[in-house]
């Protein structure tokens, strides 16, 4: 299913990052700095607090003028890593990504941003 890059989170976002990197198995890029951090550094993605702002856009990420790959793309998210990984995916795969249905919540389409359930 086609999903806007700005709406990707959790497994779907990590899968899209893996696809952009051309890797077969995704890691937790959007939650693990040891996985997402090197991408941010290599792609020269800047991150800053976006406050005050609406829910889900607390952080913004952008490619620097000299960015190697993320130039002129922006990503927003509730965490710095989510924002940066959305920026990266948008720069490599575009504003929409075809995500396998099994990575999307059953009620996807009735919400704009989907999240992993937390207890």
* CATH code, domain with 11: 3.30.2120
- Burial level of 112, CB count in 10 A (0-12/13-18/19+)? exposed
Whether residue 111 lies inside any domain: the answer is: no
Higher per-residue confidence, 114 vs 58: 58
What total of structural domains would you count in the chain?
1
Whether residue 78 lies inside any domain: the answer is: yes
Whether residue 114 lies inside any domain: the answer is: no
Which residues form the domain of 30? 2-102
Instruction: Residue 41: count other Cβ atoms within 10 Å of its Cβ.
Output: 9
Whether residue 110 lies inside any domain: the answer is: no
Predicted local distance difference test score (pLDDT) of residue 76:
92
User: Residue 63: beta bridge partners?
Assistant: 45, 71
Q: What is the mean pLDDT of the chain?
A: 83
What is the phi/psi pair of residue 114, to 5°?
-105, 150
Q: Is the pTM of this model over 0.85?
A: no
């Amino acid at each position: 299913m086609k999903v806007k890059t700005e709406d990707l989170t959790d497994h779907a976002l990590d899968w899209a990052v893996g696809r952009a990197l051309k890797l077969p198995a995704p890691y937790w890029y959007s939650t693990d700095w040891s996985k997402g951090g090197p991408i941010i550094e290599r792609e020269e993605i800047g991150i800053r607090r976006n406050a005050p702002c609406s829910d889900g856009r607390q952080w913004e990420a952008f490619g620097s003028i000299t960015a190697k790959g993320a130039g002129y793309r922006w990503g927003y998210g509730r965490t710095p890593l989510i924002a940066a990984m959305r920026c990266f995916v948008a720069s490599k795969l575009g504003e929409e990504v075809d995500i396998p249905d099994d990575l999307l919540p059953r009620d996807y389409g009735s919400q704009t941003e989907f999240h992993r359930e937390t207890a």
